[in-house]
A = this chain, B = another copy of it.
Amino acid sequence: MENKKVTEEKKIVRIKNIEIGSGKPVFMAGPCSIESEEHILEEAKALKEIGVDILRGGAFKPRTSPFDFQGLGMEGLEYFRKAADAVDLPFVTEVLSESDIEKMEEYVDMFQVGSRNMYNYALLKKLGKVNKPILLKRGFSATIKEWAMAAEYIAMGGNENIVFCERGIRSFSDYTRNTLDLAGAVLLKNMTGRPVIVDPSHGTGLRELIEPMTDASIACGLDGVIIEVHQCPDEALSDGKQTIDYETYRKIRNKY
């Protein structure tokens, strides 16, 4: 990566009729966690009505403490599949374990590798054999080279359907949860030719920064955003402070 060559080729990733990396920004939205069958269906319907390309939501939740809520697991995925089908939308969800891939594969449209697992090369290698696109989040303090190379662990297995997701890096900052590195995201896109989207929810940790950071991300040529939306953010089981409600999401979505 010493030679920061710019790749001209655009590596567009397709999920059903959605194209990521084609120039038109893609919106992924949904709750942090799938909370119940009714909850995820309601969210799916609301987001469909407002406008969303891909639903997001966690069934397997990586939590700092093993004693915290760990998600609904496979049961949650079943609910999510039903909800997504009901509104005819694809969804992305996080995979935490090599041994979950096979059983998850029949439910999900896109696998997310979270920040905690960006260096989990065993997981990445197995995802290289899967016939579903991968959303590869940046590790908490991953360099651009490490992030680009993590994608190669997937690609060398044959799966070239990789979308990067910038979600903020760890810095001394204590005002925002993380420091959103849009310049790094643009650099990675230029170097790899792969699509790069932005997660302004985790990237800032602050509800009021989601709209300006979405605008910034799209203005500098990145390929979309993934946003935490909840019918009632302050009652969300996790990540409430960085989650927006439907009206705020509608306002952002309608701009594009």
Binding site for B on A (CB under 8 A): 4, 6, 62, 64-67, 96-100, 115-117, 119-123, 139-146, 149, 152-153, 156, 169-176, 179-184, 186-187, 190, 200, 203-204, 206, 208-209, 212-213, 215-221
Contacts and interface: CB of A to CB of B under 8 A. Distances in A.
A143 to B, nearest CB: 6
14 contacts: A62-B121, A96-B121, A99-B99, A116-B119, A120-B123, A144-B173, A173-B181, A175-B184, A179-B179, A180-B181, A183-B206, A183-B213, A186-B213, A187-B206
Contacts of A146: 64
Contacts of A184: 173, 175-176, 179
A66 B153 contact: yes
Contacts of A187: 175-176, 206, 209
Contacts of A176: 181, 183-184, 187
A200 to B, nearest CB: 8
A206 B64 CA distance: 24
Nearest to A144: B175
